Structures are given as structure tokens and as C-alpha cells.
Amino acid sequence: MDLAHTGFIYSINNSNDDYLSKNMKKAEIKLTIELDDNNVPENITWESTDHENKEALAVKSMMLALWDHNYKNSLRIDLWTKDMPVDEMKRFFYETLQTMADSFLRATGETNIVEDLRDYCAHFAEKMEIMEK
């Protein structure tokens, strides 16, 4: 896989290659979740050390997926604030599905299945009454 096309290379841990670890560009992404007394998210902010805007940016929802190569499974964190509107959540899922298709195409080159994913995204948008903007 050509890592330069992923768009998000933040660190590669390779203890056998000191050159990479010393010269690799690194950035940190920080997520801050403020919870109410029932542990329901009230506020979510994120910031990155390599983003032009150094302020934490507020968001209403987030999905984080990580691949655990040791156990061969994914780890996920899906959070949304209690004031996230349902219509925006539908749009968020739609756009996430679309970008997953883009990422899958870049990662694998599998055009046929990506066309199927895009067809499903169109079906999802129709069922959820989401108009593409």
C-alpha cells in the first residue's frame, strides 16, 4: 500500500529502523470529551499539532476506528453529544459511508466493490431522505 496516499500518517513504530523513527514527521491528535453526570458526552473537541488552526475545534459526533494487528480485529469509539440532531446524524453516517468507500478504493484498488458501496450509499441517502448537497 502506498502510505503517501492515505492522507493520515502520524507515526509508524519500527524499532528496527532508527532512521525512520528519528526523521519521520509526527503529529498528535487530541480528543477531549466532556461528560455529564451520566457519562453522556456534552462536548467533544479535537485538535492536531499539525493543523493550521491551533485551537480545539468543537464537533457533535465522532467515529474512530483502529486496527489491532495483533488480535486481527478493529477497535472503535463512536460518540455523539446529547444535542446532536438526528438529521445531522443521518448525514454524518451517509458521509462517513461515502468516505469509507473512498478510503477502501485508495487502500485496495477494488473498484467493483466500491461501486457497490456507492450504490448502497445512494440507497441509504434515499431511505434516510438525505439530499446530496
Instruction: Convert the pLDDT of each residue in 6-54 to its tens digit.
Output: 334 344 444 455 655 678 889 999 999 999 999 999 999 999 998 888 8
Could you please report the per-residue DSSP string of the chain? Answer: --GGGTS-------TT-HHHHHH-----EEEEEEE-TTS-EEEEEEEETTSS--SPEEESEEEEEEEETTTTEEEEEEEE-TT--HHHHHHHHHHHHHHHHHHHHHHH--HHHHHHHHHHHHHHHHHTTPPP-
Predicted TM-score (pTM) of this structure: 0.77
Q: What is the pLDDT of residues 80-121, one digit of tens each?
A: 999 999 999 999 999 999 999 999 999 999 999 999 999 999
Residue ranges covered by each domain of the chain = 85-133
